[in-house]
Structure 1
Amino acid sequence: MTIQISIDQLSKTFPGRNDTAAFTALSNISCDINSNEFVCLLGPSGCGKSTLLGLIAGHDQPSKGQIVVDNHTVTGPGADRGMVFQQYALFPWYTVEQNVLLGLKIKGLSPEERTGRAERMLRSVNLWEHRSKFPRELSGGMKQRAAIARTLAIEPDVLLMDEPFGALDEQTRERLQDELLTIWQESRRTVVFVTHSIQEAVMLSDRILLMGRQQGRIIADVHNTLPRPRDRMSTDFVAVEREVHGYLKQAEFTANEEAANA
């Protein structure tokens, strides 16, 4: 497969405040992500996964190392990368359709192209019948679908998702996971998806990059070969969950030992 994202010896350190020491969020990370691959960054809160995603998006700059997307070094945000946040980030004064159209207008598409693509994307996430509603009139799941449609409409090569379903109830989250997989299988974009849920990572991913608590580095690269569609209750699914959980427990044990011996 073609490598689309290459992360080379990446580190990110934030300066201390009010006489506190500097904080290293990421430490010497190197990995490659292939074209059309669905990769989950999995780990507990504070492990650096959102920081890594933000660096891929170009929202911040690394302290050391580099990120290359499609043979171009990332120096800032770009139309080749689309971001979906946990809190929807919809403009409340625009309708669902207007939210989707906005990015297409900025991209410079003709009115006909904008209208056609917006309709196609909203139909793909089952929101066409709600296109005239404002965000305040939508459920949490509908808002997130609208945010996904808006990002997909600009046709980014890489889709970056920062815990997009984390604030939703379990039933809604599982439904949106299934819808996202359907869209991904049709579009075959590269996806980097941040989560702290082992089940979600196993459900969605081709690969799981595991990050340990307060270590700022990738501790394991799990290739998820479960056939699709996946059954969350199957023996094989549970076995992969246990494998991933084992890596995380071992990393936490190691981190605790290192802290005790420091």
Structure 2
Amino acid sequence: MTAQISIQGLTKTFPGRNESAAFTALSGISLDIPANEFVCLLGPSGCGKSTLLGLIAGHEQPTDGAVVVGGTRVTGPAAQRGMVFQQYALFPWYTVEDNVRLGLKVQGLSAREQMERTERMLRAVHLWDHRRKFPRELSGGMKQRAAIARTLAIDPDVLLMDEPFGALDEQTRNRLQDELLSIWQGSRRTVVFVTHSVQEAVTLADRVVVMAHDKGRIVAELPVSLPRPRDRMSVEFVEAEREVSACLKRAESSNAPNVIA
């Protein structure tokens, strides 16, 4: 299968006050993500997960190497790649409905198309009955569902998610994980999802990519072959968690060898 996302020798160095103070967040990463795959990037804080996601989104430019999506080199943001952040990024002066419609207006869709697609997305995330509320009137989980609906409404080929459920309580997080999987299975977009939670990665991913703190290296790529929906209490799920946790522990060591499964 042709890769939907191809990451080729990617390096990102942030300048410091002088050359010796420069910080390398990613070093020579290569990774192929086929179309329709759900990939979780997992690793310790500061290992470069969010930097890698930002490079795929086009919000940052690499120091070396390239990101290619759908055969086209990424040189900046595009509607083809939708981004969902941890902090929702909703406009507080717009209602839920208007937040979702905003990107559709920019795309130049007709008023009828905007209305139909907005309704479809808000119903998919169970927010249609709350469409006229403002962000301040929503719970954290509802805000995140609104942010997901806004991103999905522009119909991106690739969905990029930067720890979107990290600030939520466990019950809300588990429910939104299940809702996200339901939406993904219905649309089969390519998803790259950043998380620091082993359980979340095993719950969501077709493949878990484990990154190390040492200059953002990839130390493991672990397929998760459990059938969906996944039972978080099953023996098979717990065993998969153990395997991923063991790789994560190795990643926490700066001397971790590359272990590509």
Output one character per residue of 1:80-134: Cα deviation in whole Å (capped at 9) or x when no partner: 0000000000000000000001100001100000000000000000000000000
- SS of 1:255's equivalent in the other structure is coil
Structure 1: which 5+ residue stretches go unaligned? none
How far 1:214 moved relative to its partner? 3.3
Q: Distance in 1 between matches of 2:19 and 2:213?
A: 24
Contact 1:41 1:210 in 2 (8 A): yes
Instruction: Tell me the residue number matched to 2:9.
Output: 9
Q: Distance in 1 between matches of 2:36 and 2:256?
A: 38
Instruction: Tell me the residue number matched to 1:95.
Output: 95
How far 1:44 moved relative to its partner? 1.1
How far 1:251 moved relative to its partner? 2.6
Q: Does 1:23 align with 2:23?
A: yes
**Alignment RMSD (CA, Å):** 1.4
Q: Distance in 2 between matches of 1:32 and 1:158?
A: 13
Q: Distance in 2 between matches of 1:110 and 1:231?
A: 43
Instruction: Tell me the residue number matched to 1:227.
Output: 227
Instruction: Tell me the residue number matched to 2:254.
Output: 255
* Shift in alpha-carbon separation, 1:114–1:257, aligned structure 2, 3 A: closer
Output one character per residue of 1:156-198: Cα deviation in whole Å (capped at 9) or x when no partner: 0000000000000000000000000000000100000000000
Q: Distance in 2 between matches of 1:233 and 1:118?
A: 36
Q: Distance in 1 between matches of 2:134 and 2:20?
A: 44
- SS of 1:215's equivalent in the other structure is coil
Instruction: Tell me the residue number matched to 1:208.
Output: 208
Instruction: Tell me the residue number matched to 1:193.
Output: 193
Instruction: Tell me the residue number matched to 1:139.
Output: 139
1:42-191 superposed matches below 5 A? 42-191=42-191
- SS of 2:21's equivalent in the other structure is coil
How far 1:249 moved relative to its partner? 1.3
Q: Distance in 1 between matches of 2:213 and 2:96?
A: 38
Q: Distance in 1 between matches of 2:240 and 2:248?
A: 13
How far 1:20 moved relative to its partner? 6.1
Q: Distance in 2 between matches of 1:95 and 1:68?
A: 35
| Letter aligned with residue 150 of structure 2 | R
How far 1:6 moved relative to its partner? 0.2
* Shift in alpha-carbon separation, 1:257–1:121, aligned structure 2, 3 A: closer
Q: Distance in 1 between matches of 2:118 and 2:169?
A: 27
| Letter aligned with residue 218 of structure 2 | I
How much identity, in percent, do the aligned residues show?
74
How far 1:257 moved relative to its partner? 8.4
Q: Distance in 2 between matches of 1:157 and 1:44?
A: 28
How far 1:17 moved relative to its partner? 3.2
TM, length-normalised to structure 1: 0.95
Structure 2: which 5+ residue stretches go unaligned? none
Aligned residues: 257
Contact 1:46 1:214 in 2 (8 A): no
Q: Distance in 2 between matches of 1:226 and 1:59?
A: 34
